[in-house]
Every structure is written in structure tokens, then in C-alpha cells.
Structure 1
Amino acid sequence: MAEIVFSKTPLVFEVTKQKPTLITPAEPTPYEFKELSEIDNQQRLRFFEPGILFYRSGRPDPVKVIKEALGKALVAYYPLAGRLREKGDGKLVIECNGEGIMFVEADADVTLAQFGEPLIPPFPCTEELQCDTSNSEAFLDYSLLLVQVTRLKCGGFILALKSNHVVADVTGLSQFMHAVAELARGAEFPSIRPVWDRHLLLARNPPRVTRVHPEYDEEMDGTDENIVSFDDVQRKFFFFGATEIGNIRRLLPEHLKSSTTFEILTACIWRSRTIAMQFNPKDEVRFRFLINVRHKLNPPIPTGYYGNVVVTPVAISTTHDIISNPLEYTVELIKNVKRSITEEYVKSVVDFLATKGRPGFHRGACTYYVVDLSRVGLDQWDFGWGNAVYGGPAEVWFGSPSTGFGNYYLAGKNGNGESGILVPMCLPRWAMGRFVEELNRYFSVSELEQPVSLSGSLRTGIAA
């Protein structure tokens, strides 16, 4: 395991933005109202998910090419050009009125090289590189997708997006943007036909909640809300390649050696974090993660479906049990939760959401939350200039001081070119040292003068 040490010089530059415009479908589209699924309708998905991509080359003008391709793609994906409306029961629908998506053209007096090598978030001046959503309180009458293309002095460009999570998950957004990329390269139609079919994830009649869903326990956990403060947090990156994962795997009993990389790595990190945070031995600790369940249903969710098909299961234990048992105990916890994600589990989640009025998630510093983006391949949107140098979140930590911080897993390479997983971690400063000490029990920590590089990956969507 390599601890990644950053010494980036602060970068300040000026971005000149043109007035926002609306890109409408290039051809007439149906006027109708589209129902959203129960998973789409969750209260916690009512926000704009940001993403950012950096490209080395953008000639001819990427603004013209991408604008035209977006308009063509919106013919097939016309609901994205509509607006959200709220029904009497509080659920959302899309009015497919063709109003369009927001687009901003911009120029920055900076080169791609000035961002450093390799490109790793968080990035400087991201607010200037993305569309402004500060006025999006009018959630029901706002563009569902916002795109900004910023040309750089070197001839490269930055593509920044903010997508309304209610309408699509990361797999669905990536599907749409792959369609845009295909059209930008000269295709007449997207290779994957978009499928709406949100009725597939509506509640049964009558709803039948057949599983327990502790992920929706809305109360805070029992830790002191001030245990993490903005004044005393430390952020670090850790790289885990085949060697590091192999070292952890060798510590497991024979029946667990075939566990997935996600299961092994996450068990190691969750256990080390729990020890480092010094929770009360009786405190309930949780691990929550996002997982794509398109393949769990029978028949499966059809190819081309771009709505939300993700659930957030949770593994639960106590501080005492996590730290007093060997690593295999934590691996088994995660594996057991994954085994429980069956077709019936997904249907029960849908029915639960339909009957409980769109509850929020359990939160708190005792809950460790991960979104695995290491296999999504957001850098593989080729608009005619090759794949992005970086494609993914602009920020790798999420959460708050009172609720604890979650993080993304990203694909990356170390200084030797070895592929692996980049894990960002945000902890109180007093806990970070202990966290590294715990990881040292599995392998020696080496500090790299040069950080890892992010790499391309499979287009498999969120999966654990």
C-alpha cells in the first residue's frame, strides 16, 4: 500500500464564460409526462451530481461539436430535455416539453499541463469550470443536465457536467454521454437504444416489504456530532495494487481467499478506520455502499435503461466485534450483505420506499460510506479526440463534519505503472495517524514523491 503525498502548488486562473444557452432536441419530440420509479423518487437523490473530464486535444472547436451532438442525442433521450413536476402525492414526473439542457461555453487562460501530472481531484477553481446551480432551488423548473465546455490555452478542453440524480444514475448518465460521443464521431444513431420503462421499479400491488432495511434508519448514530470538524480533518490518498491486495488475501482463511478485491480492500479499510476513530466499544458501526442491481432482477432490467437502479445496503456490527475479531470477520460481514441483495431484496426496497414516504439514509461518523467508481470508465467518452486524461468526480470526499465523510474508489496507476485502486480518506487529524498504523499491520507504507495516475477501466457500472 502506498500513501500518496501531494505537494501541488496552488493554481489560480481566469475563466471567461459566455451566457448560458439551452440546447433543445435537434428534431421534434413527443410532448408527454413520464413517470419516475420509486428508486428515482428518493428524497436523497434530489441533487445535482457533478463530474469533470479533461481532454488533451479539442480541435476542431469542441464547443461546436459537443453542442451539435447533444442536440442529436436529445432526440432519443428527449425526457432529459424536459422539466420535473411534482404530483399531489409528492412524487415527481417529467414533463417532456423539449425546453432543453443548459450549456455554457467558456475559455480559461491555463494549460492542461498546469493542472499537474497526473490529474487527481480535487481540482482548482472547479466552481468556475462547472455550471452554476446556486439558483437551482427552483428544482421543479430547472434543467436536468448542465454542461460546460471550457477551452484551454494548449488546445485541450474540460467538459464538466451536473446531472439531476433523480433522472439517471452514473451508469445511465454514462450511457447518454456515450451516445453523445458516438454522434460527435459521426454515427447516425446511438448504438444502444434508450429505454424508459420506469414502471419496472414501481411498487407491487399491494406493496410487500419482506426484508429489513436499516440503511433507511434516518436518525444519527450515537457518536458526538463534533467528533469531526472542518478545522481538524486530514485528507490522504492510498494506492492498492495487486501486491497489496495479495498481501491482505494471504491473511484470510482458505474459504475466503476467493473474495473479491472490493470485499477484501473494504474490509481492511473499514476495520482500520473503526480502530482509528476510537468509537465506544458498544457503538454500532456501519458500512454502507452503493451497488448496481440491474442484473439482480428476472427478467433483468433491459439494456438501455438509464434510470436509477442502485441500492445502498449496509453491514452492521459493533466497535468491539470489529476490533476484537480478525479481518475475516469483517470480510464475512460484507460478503453476507452482498449475498442478501437478491431480486426479492430489490423489490422489497422498492415497496419500502413507496410506503415510507421517501425516507433519508442513516448517517453519522460511525457509518463509513463508499461509492466504487473504479470500474465505471467515465474517462472513456471519446468525442473524436480520444479518451479523457481524467474522467470522474471533481471531489472525492462527500459528507459533512457532523455526519462523517464517505469517499469514492477510483481506478489508478502507481509510479511504476501498475494498475490498482486509489482510495481517498478523510479523517480527523488525530485519527489519521492511527489509521495508517493499522494499515501498516498488513503491509509497509511507502510514500511516493509522485502521485498515482488515474487510468481507464471497464464500462461495468457501479458494482461491488
Structure 2
Amino acid sequence: MQLLRHETAVIRPIKPPFDHDHTLPLSHLDTDRNLLVTLRYLRIYPGSRHNQSDPFHVITAALSAALLPYYPLAGTLRRRPSDHRLELHCRAGDGLPVILAVAGGTLAAGAGDGGDDPSFMDQLAPDPDPGSDPIRPMVLQITRFSCGGFVLGASVHHAICDGFGATLFFSAVAEAARGVGGAGVVDPVWDRSVLLGPRSPPRVEYPIRELLSLDRGFSPYAGSGKRVVKEYLNVEGAWLGRVKEMWYKQSGLKFTTFEALGALIWSSRIKADKLPPNEKVTFAYSISIRNIVNPPLPAGYWGNSCVPMFVHLTAGEVAGQPVWKTAAAIKGSKQHATAEYVASYVDFQELHYDEGINGGRRVSGFTDWRHLGHSAVDFGWGGPTAVVPLSSRLLGSVEPCFFLPGKEGMVKVLVHLEEGVVLGFRGEMDKLRNMENGLLSPI
């Protein structure tokens, strides 16, 4: 399928949001070196919907309205000379770039379920130069298909917001597009350096150093140089429920879907990698701190509001122990999610920022997108039928795993793997598929 990019429009707020140029500081969670990546993803809206309006005009007009309160997204990220941390520069006349593209084919209802041409899908979201200076916090692309469907591709720098913060913004855009007067949209809150800044003086009272590594010369996203590919799975919720019930009988522990499925996939990946038994491996994930910090973060806070959590084991432990024990380790790691952990993590960033803070050298990143509200972003054509991550760098991992909204009763999983271990990973998953005669099938 051929794609043609027609123009790039710079969308500005409907009226000037400020009367003088200024700089906004970011929080220490925003500037965490492991989050200095661009998240690229797609929202897919197939054709055959009643609204015949041009999505490019509808969405760009709504963007202009939403950018009035969310004007920092029209600014630029620049490094501060004093310490090289990013900060947000806002100048009069700044705008958010939106690319218009067209494609001649049909956008099927099943698009985004994993069977699409990866190289074509990758063209549906902007791919800015990660080394550019200054950095655009957000760039969008709207691709219209001849069938009437469209794809909204987003490139969002993680320093400006996380998935929850981005969804707050897109929800505001969707409300404006539908002309519902902002019902249900909360006012955005910045105050990042105040709400999530270091203490004075900074102090690390939680044993953070047991979870994080310091290596000034280490780049977590350097990777091995080997090709990384995507592997999609559909996991039947009923099967996973039987697995969790079986583990409860064995361990007396009740596991969430994230804990159980994360353990199953991580175990299969480590076995397929065939690592030395004594090599340290890390399961990394993020946990929301919105209600952990005291006082809780305001509802409209749209900066990064998660901290990374880590499970450190050896490859031999993960490969050799019952999978429920790995799930138990993931469950147990949640005990770190306290207000003091958050404060110490922020203070650790303040004290050791230049020393290469990282989660380890063999990190598998896991993130759960099922409850971020992606599917509720309705510009007037209904919500998207699929959300497709394109990024392969997250949480200090070059092989992240995404849990995505699936069809009713299913969990869709996207796993990034080095090409050479895909067959081994599938073999390990096949063994699990036979547990309780369950269904765990590649898409």
C-alpha cells in the first residue's frame, strides 16, 4: 500500500495563551534518563462510520482549542546548560506540527491486530530525529484512507508526559471535536517541579541503591545490534483465570492478570534467550503514584506520574523455578510502592543524575495499556478499534512488552524480541498453551 504525505500544518492555540516567552521546569520523573525516549503509537479508526467530515480538519480545529490549556505541547524541549536536564521553552507563535497523509487502500476493521505490514504501519506515525535540538514534545500524523477510515499517529516525547497524561490531552481534543463543551475534561495542572521535586536537602531514606545501578558510560538503549521483531499474542482470559486458580492452590497467593501474564511471558523469554544461569535479569514496570504521594496528585496533573519498579533475579532462577514463584516475585515488588520510595527515587535522581542511573543490563520492560482510556478517544467517529505501539524502547529495555485492549474476553499482547529467539520463545509459549488445555495463540 502506498502512502503519500501532503503537507505539515503547524496548529497553534485559538488565541495566545500567554503574553511573554517563558520556560517551564520539568519534574525529576520527567527527566529520568530512562524515559528520554519517544513513544510512537497509532489509533486506528476504520471507515464505514456515519460521520463523513474530513478528520484532518475536524481534529486540527479541535487541537487548536485544546492547545489553549495544553500550550506546553506547542513548545520545545531543550537541555539546560547548567545540568543538561530538559526543560520546556514556550514562545509566542509556537505550534504543534500535524502531518496530513493519504493512502489509497482500505483500512480494514481488523487493522492493528498484528497481521499488517510492519514497514507500512511504521510510516503512519511521525519519526523525528531523537538527536534533534530542540525537541518537539509532540508531532502528529493523520492518514486518510480511500475507504473513509483514518489513522491518528502520534510521536510523544516521554519527558512531556506518560500514557495517562497523553490520554488526558487527547480526551480534551476529542471533547472539542465532538463539540460537547468540555464535559468530563479536567483542567490541566503543571506545577511539576513543585509537586514532584526533590526535598531540601535531598535524602535517600529508602534502599533505592539495591534496585538501581550506576554506570556513567552505560546506555540502556544501545541494544545488541541484533534485529528486533514484534510478536503478537491473543490470550484467552478464561485460560489465564484457570492458570491463576491453579497457582492459588499451589501458593495460596492471588495474582492479577499483569502479574500472572508478565511472569509467563518473562519466563518464556528468559528460557528462549538461553542465558548463563548466574546472569542477572530484570523485570521492569511502572506503577502509578497518583494516590501514593501525600497529598495525592491533582486529577489534571499530566506529567509523568509513575515510578519504575524492578524485580531482579538470575536467569537460572527464572528459568528453573515454577512460574508462580516468578509471579510472586513480581507481586512482592509492589511493596516498594510507598510515598518514601517515590520521594527517595526523586532525590536519588537529584543526587546521581550524571552517574548513569539504570535498572540493569538485561532489562525486560512491561507496560499495561489496557486501562489508559485509549479506546475512549472519540473524535466523532466512535473510539478506535485498535491501539498499536510502534516504539521498541521503554523502561531501559529494547524489548518491551505491551498489554493492550483486546476483544471481549481476551488480552492482546505485543512482545518485542530479538529475531533469533522468536522460534524458541514460541516453543516455550506452546508448552504453556497446553496448560489446562488453554488457548494462548499467536495472532
**Deviation of 1:421 (Å):** 4.0
Distance 2:338 2:120 in 1: 43
* Alignment partners' CA distance in 1, 2:199 and 2:100: 45
Q: Give distance in 2, aligned partners of 1:235 and 1:148.
A: 22
Note the alpha carbon deviations across 1:296-321, whole angstroms, 9 max, x for none.
11211110100011211111122333
Q: Give me the whole-angstrom Cα distance separating, in 2, the residues matched to 1:422 and 1:238.
A: 5
Give 2:128's aligned residue.
Answer: 133
| Correspondence 1:73-222 to 2 at 5 A | 73-87=66-80, 88-98=82-92, 99-113=94-108, 116=111, 118=113, 123-134=118-129, 137-140=131-134, 142-189=135-182, 191-198=185-192, 199-210=194-205, 211-214=207-210, 216-217=212-213
Counterpart residue number, 1:16: 4
SS of corresponding position for 2:148: coil
| Partner residue of 2:35 out of 39, 45, 53 | 45
Give, in whole Å, the separation in 2 of the partners of 1:83 and 1:337. 36
Residue 250 (structure 1) shift = 2.7
Structure-2 change in CA distance of 1:379 and 1:391 (3 Å): farther
**Which residue of the partner structure matches residue 245 of structure 2?**
250
Distance 1:355 1:120, change over 3 A: farther
Residue aligning to 2:359: 362
Structure 2 vs 1, CA of residues 378 and 93 (structure 1 numbering), >3 Å: closer, same or farther?
same
Distance 1:115 1:253, change over 3 A: closer
CA distance in 2, matches of 1:127, 1:118: 14
The reply on whether 1:291 has 2:287 as its aligned counterpart is yes
Deviation at 1:251, TM superposition (A): 2.6
Change (3 A) 1:447 1:132: closer
> Would the aligned equivalents of 1:123 and 1:394 in 2 still touch at CA under 8 Å?
no
Using the aligned pairs only, state the percent identity.
28
Contact 1:145-1:164 at 8 Å conserved across structures = yes
Match of 2:413 in 1: 422
Q: Distance in 2 between matches of 1:290 and 1:121?
A: 29
Q: Distance in 1 between matches of 2:191 and 2:256?
A: 32
2:99 is aligned with what amino acid? Answer: V
The CA distance in 2 between the partners of 1:17 and 1:421, in whole Å, is 30
1:70 partner amino acid = L
**Structure 1 stretches lacking a partner, 5+ long:** 1-12, 452-464
**What does the per-residue CA deviation read over 1:48-85, in whole Å, with 9 as the maximum and x for residues that have no partner?**
21111111246211111111110111111111111223
Change (3 A) 1:271 1:128: closer
Within a 5 Å distance, the mapping from 1:382-401 to structure 2 comes to 382-394=378-390, 397-398=392-393
The verdict on how the C-alpha distance between 1:293 and 1:422 changes in structure 2, with shifts beyond 3 A counting, is same
Greater CA drift, 180-189 or 423-432:
423-432
User: Relative to structure 1, is the Cα distance of residues 192 and 22 closer, same or farther in structure 2, using a 3 angstrom cutoff?
Assistant: same
Amino acid at match of 2:162: D
Taking the aligned partners of 2:162 and 2:441, their CA distance within structure 1 comes to 34
Q: In structure 1, what residue type is equivalent to 2:381?
A: W
Shift, 1:448, TM fit? 6.1
In the alignment, is the contact (CA less than 8 A) between 1:378 and 1:392 conserved in 2?
no
**Bigger mean CA deviation after superposition, 174-183 or 424-433:** 424-433
Structure 1 position 14, deviation (Å): 2.1
Query: Which residue of the partner structure matches residue 55 of structure 1?
Result: 45
**1:375 Cα offset (Å):** 2.0
Q: Secondary structure at the match of 1:344?
A: helix
Are 1:332 and 2:328 an aligned pair? yes
Work out the CA distance in 1 between the residues paired with 2:315 and 2:165. 37
| Alignment CA distance shift 1:394-1:24 (3 Å) | same
Alpha-carbon separation, structure 1, partners of 2:425 and 2:324 = 23
Cα distance in 2, alignment partners of residues 18 and 410 from structure 1? 31
Q: Is the 8 A contact 2:235 2:441 kept in 1?
A: no
Q: Deviations over 1:394-413 (max 9, x none)?
A: 35x547xx976222111212
Q: Work out the CA distance in 2 between the residues paired with 1:403 and 1:96.
A: 31
Q: Quick one: which amino acid aligns to residue 217 of structure 1?
A: S
**Alpha carbons of 1:103 and 1:319: their partners in 2 closer, same or farther (altered >3 Å)?**
closer
Q: Which residue of 2 aligns with 1:5?
A: none
Higher mean Cα deviation, 285-294 or 72-81? Answer: 285-294
Q: Which residue identity is paired with 2:288? A: N
Q: Equivalences for 1:295-334 in 2 at 5 Å?
A: 295-334=291-330
Return the letter of the residue paired with 2:169: F
Partners of 1:439 and 1:156 in 2: CA distance: 38
Decide which of 393, 400, 403 is 1:406's aligned counterpart.
400
Cα shift at 1:213:
4.1
| Deviation of 1:446 (Å) | 5.3
- CA-atom RMSD in angstroms: 2.9
CA distance in 1, matches of 2:119, 2:439: 27
- TM-score normalised by L of structure 1: 0.82
C-alpha distance in 2 between matches for 1:272 and 1:127? 27
5+ residue gaps in structure 2? none
